[in-house]
Amino acid sequence: MSLSDYSGARQGVSEADYMPIGQLRALQLERLQGLVRHVYERVPLTRRRMDERGVRPEHIRSLEDIALLPFMMKSDLRDEYPFGLFASPQEEIVRFHCSSGTTGKPIVIGSTQGDIRVWQEGCMRALAMCGVTREDVVQVAYGYGLFTGGLGLHYGAEGLGCAVLPISGGNTERQLMLMRDFGVTVIACTPSYFLHLVDEGMKRGIDFRRDMRLRHGVFGAEPWTEAMRGKIEQLTGITAHDIYGLTEISGPGVANDCPHRRGLHVFEDHFYPEIIDPDTLEPLPDGERGELVFTTLTRRGTPMLRYRTRDLSLIHSEPCPCGRTIRTFERISARTDDMLIIRGVNLFPSQIETALLSVDAVLPHYHIFVSKAGDLDMLEIKVEVTAQTLSDDIKSLENLRARIAHAIQRVINISAKVTLAEPHSLPRSEGKLCRVTDLRNG
């Protein structure tokens, strides 16, 4: 099958999801070869790096040959800001998106009409995998604008024929009112913002099970654990789905989990995944954990060759009972740059989340503070509990704090100070929530 006769997704069902593996690999190779030629001819940085390695486009004869190609990283996008990595002329670019870093200039990606279609197809396939249909009313509460969440889910849902409520992030009062009045059945936002909505709803006497028609949540853009998923489902009765993506690769709709929850299916006919060892940069076989790397097989605006995401995962190649042949990767619970080193021990915020949520009385709102006392790293976890719990006698509260501290110690092997906080007292976010404050460096 060639690029030109590939039909894409109809009603979110793509033939590529179920393609025999051999045919899928042949399609990927054909696309990879086309991509490498396209980039080599148009992106000076990549051409220079390939020339330095003595690699030319015609050396890519199998999918394994992808390992001959240089990696791309966020710093390349920064260094080449704004348009140095563009591989299509300005008149073919129809959209810009940016992802802000913590400092300095943002990174910019440009999309052609074709890129936008592929992105929309990814989001349609993702939503269809969640069980969303044209009967659904979809509230898109991801931010619209330079962030890809809002527009990505918007076009995906509209492509499926859903009724879309493009409310963007924020204005919680109005979100809740419209969700109820419009009979919204699907919410798309970050999991932390959804928890905020639930929380604010409860304050106003709204019971999500009784007062809302919500069935599905399409959650992503930040790490969230299986324990958090359980908490959300238990609180609201909805099914919480995991959608993954990143600006550099297009936006949401790079991968999504199916009802079997064996990991996230990658739309690998467009986004070719690899796992590499982040230290040696060597490719790792399926089943081994490392850094997720993507090659955008069909993007033409700002294509990415072997883009290092910093997200940690592993690829499963066993068949999924849903029948899709595209591979899955394990849910992202950590990024290489999220890792905290406390008293010489490496740990990820997601480990703390899992520990906290294993204790019954704990609400899914917490914040991690890291500081120094002399030379010693100190870890403090503030976690919200219900007002009723807080009104318990001192002994019960001490007991609860000890249970939480013990759960944390068991998982991360480090002692932490636990502070019980009032409901609604810790930071909330309309978008991605930062759950860590590290006060060690100034």
Number of residues that bind ligand DLL (CB under 6 A): 20
Q: Give the integer Cα–Cα distance in Å for 202 and 160.
A: 32
Binding status of residue 191 toward ligand DLL by CB under 6 A:
no
Contacts of 188 (CB under 8 A, 6+ apart): 138, 139, 140, 141, 142, 149, 153, 157, 217, 218, 219, 243
Q: Does 111 bind ligand DLL (CB under 6 A)?
A: no
Pick from 122, 251, 273, 364: which binds ligand DLL (CB under 6 A)?
Answer: 251
CB of 106 to ligand DLL, least distance (A): 10
The closest of 393, 415, 412, 411 to 402, measured between CA atoms, is 415
Contacts of 75 (CB under 8 A, 6+ apart): none
- Distance, in Å, from the CA atom of 25 to the CA atom of 173, rounded to the nearest integer, reads 48
| Smallest distance from ligand DLL to CB 435, Å | 13
273: nearest Cα among 50, 34, 24: 24
Interface residue with ligand DLL among 220, 273, 290, 303 (CB under 6 A) is 220
**Helix, strand or coil for residue 13?**
strand
Among residue numbers 23 through 52, which ones bind ligand DLL (CB under 6 A)? none
E strands, 286-393, are 290-296, 307-313, 315-316, 328-329, 334-335, 340-342, 345-347, 362-373, 376-385
Check binding of 364 to ligand DLL (CB under 6 A).
Answer: no
Q: Tell me if the bond preceding 20 is cis, omega within 30° of 0.
A: no
Which residue is at the shortest CB distance from ligand DLL?
A: 220
108 touches ligand DLL by CB under 6 A: no
CA nearest neighbour of 95 among 117, 110, 77 = 110
Stretch that binds ligand DLL, among 1-9, 238-246, 319-327, 354-362 (CB under 6 A): 238-246
* 8-state DSSP, 433: P
Query: How far is the C-alpha of 366 from the C-alpha of 35, rounded, in Å?
Result: 44
Interface residues for ligand DLL in 279-338 (CB under 6 A)? 309, 311, 332, 335
Options 88, 120, 148, 328; binder of ligand DLL; rule CB under 6 A: 148
Q: At closest approach, how far in Å is the CB of 332 from ligand DLL?
A: 4
Instruction: State which of residues 222, 330, 377, 380 lies at the interface with ligand DLL (CB under 6 A).
Output: 222
Q: Which is nearer to ligand DLL, 57 or 245 (CB)?
A: 245
143 binds ligand DLL (CB under 6 A): no
**From 110, 149, 217, 364, residue interacting with ligand DLL (rule: CB under 6 A):** 149
Judged on CB neighbours under 10 Å (0-12, 13-18, 19+), 287 is: exposed
Out of 86, 142, 208, 348, name the contact with ligand DLL by CB under 6 A: 142
244 forms part of the interface with ligand DLL (CB under 6 A): yes
Nearer to ligand DLL, 201 or 251 (CB): 251
Residues near ligand DLL (CB under 6 A) are: 99, 142, 148-149, 220-223, 242-247, 251-252, 309, 311, 332, 335
